[in-house]
Chain A
């Protein structure tokens, strides 16, 4: 089994400091956040430039080159609603450390992102959702199969589609949590890769609670076979939990210093 893949989420326009740095092409804050995440053990970095209409392609190219040149061709997830920006990013992307990830397609209006990933030999995060929240796992599985078929038709390998069950917020949808976890098991039984924005679950909770909830959820989800997650790698408790779960799953060999490496 391969190690759990963490995708660092902290380079996002939703953070005002990052948004400002992107708009001003200010390298320093971007590099600082990237370094913090990599030092903490992130494998991939998500680059979320927002809708970025118009200027998206230039910005994505700049960000990809900036990050890869400073961090030994770090693999990246290109996260934007601007498809041209994703293609522009891939055009300057170095694959030495891993294929680029297109973030993301869904079974609704964003299905063409899958075609884009297929055309560019990229990994694609495929959200098992269309409009609104899927009512049950039959619906999620329907979306999953639809995405899978479409990807395979376009020549993608199943392993390059990372299915996102869509983690739901506990405050408001506590009753759906086990459903999501069961769905991960279904993906895993099919031999599919999976990922998702894990911290959705703890939205709206006090800051001190969130790492606890996120850690517990990642452990349960890894038990079910989750292979990756989009996370805040600077959450120490979460990262320690992931490393420990990797040991239990046999994804990595235990050594007393396992948390330090």
Chain B
């Protein structure tokens, strides 16, 4: 964000001494804003003002790295409030959770459950990337032992621990995998910061309310620690939501760098045991500013819609999502089932495959490379044509894989029928309805007539 001359002027000495060579302070500040003069040409700008200026030219929200190797991930670094303004860059990460207050059987069962959710969705691996390991003074399970077991899952850990000594012991066994130490409070921040800094890990900051959090972050920055995340979890859902939104807004819209850190939202604290409510809240905090969202459980039930939502929200508005070209056998289709083709634009794929699945008719959905564009756009751009289909048929060896010779093409490109039949001898080209919603009836009718 370019710093406006007026913002610089507000910090200027306003002496109009002309020593910088400009007639007035205002004129000088405007030159600085345009890059035509350097701030050092003014002998009277205070150090504090200069520091503020260099701060103001830094990105509004820090990018914080956690994890190592393949598990390394970046939190924060956002520059806008809503995805359509530009794009969201670093997706929300979900943490499954463990606590030393759980009994052994529960812990073992959870450790066995976590790895089960692990699948691919449009080229993205979906799994619980983080494990939140909570420390409770009343807990009877050995915390360091629990951390070791959690670390063995190969996921990045978030240690929820406000006891300095315990945190130190836990980090001793897991610091190399770069966990987050979510442990700084107004009471312990200096000691906790020393522990985190020594271990080289990111420090999470919490407090009773935003004032406490704000002051603690300022104090930590004063100690030179800016490798932070902010736990915005409050006493209630409402407070948590307000904290999380206000923090992000202060960072992005008001340029308050003290607020420019990623957030941790702990749903286990505010909606314990209400798993459906946690699922709903996880969706809310995916759209509104949760960098790490901690959940009691991440089973397929929560994960399937949540990871899909995240994939949607964090996609670049300028670059539509694409699916891999290939043959997608639906409803138990085999080499004798009818074929249908459309483009690789993810939304089109989902609409079409959804309707095809609803029809229950076995179909081979053939997706060719159409530049990630919708049907008409791809056709207009020459990316969906008889030649592109012919080319894909050869590359993917469709004729070697499928015996059926009926191909349904999108109704919007009915004009391609003749050309495709000319380029794919032996194929009968059938024109689908113009809208995906009409596919169910269309296919069912074909099936009833013995055509599919």
Contacts and interface: CB of A to CB of B under 8 A. Distances in A.
Contact of B4 (A141, A142, A146, A190): A190
Interface of A: 141-142, 145-146, 148-149, 152, 158, 189-191
A197 B30 CA distance: 26
Contacts of B6: 148, 158, 190-191
Given A142-B23, A148-B6, A152-B10, 11 more contacts: A141-B27, A141-B30, A145-B26, A146-B24, A146-B26, A149-B24, A149-B25, A152-B9, A158-B6, A190-B5, A190-B33
Contacts of A141: 27, 30
A146 B10 CA distance: 14
B4 A191 contact: yes
Contacts of B9: 149, 152
What's the dominant secondary structure at chain B's contact region? helix
Interface of B: 4-6, 9-10, 14, 23-27, 30, 33-34
B245 to A, nearest CB: 23
A69 to B, nearest CB: 38
Contacts of B27: 141-142, 145
Contacts of A191: 4, 6
B4 A148 contact: no
A8 to B, nearest CB: 30
A152 B10 CA distance: 9
A111 B25 CA distance: 20
A190 B30 contact: yes
Contacts of B5: 190
A189 B33 CA distance: 10
A142 B14 CA distance: 15
Contacts of B14: 149
A119 to B, nearest CB: 21
Contacts of A152: 9-10
Nearest to A158: B6
A145 B4 contact: no
Contacts of B24: 145-146, 149
A190 B30 CA distance: 8
Contact of A148 (B23, B26, B33, B34): B26
A91 to B, nearest CB: 31
B318 to A, nearest CB: 16
Nearest to B14: A149
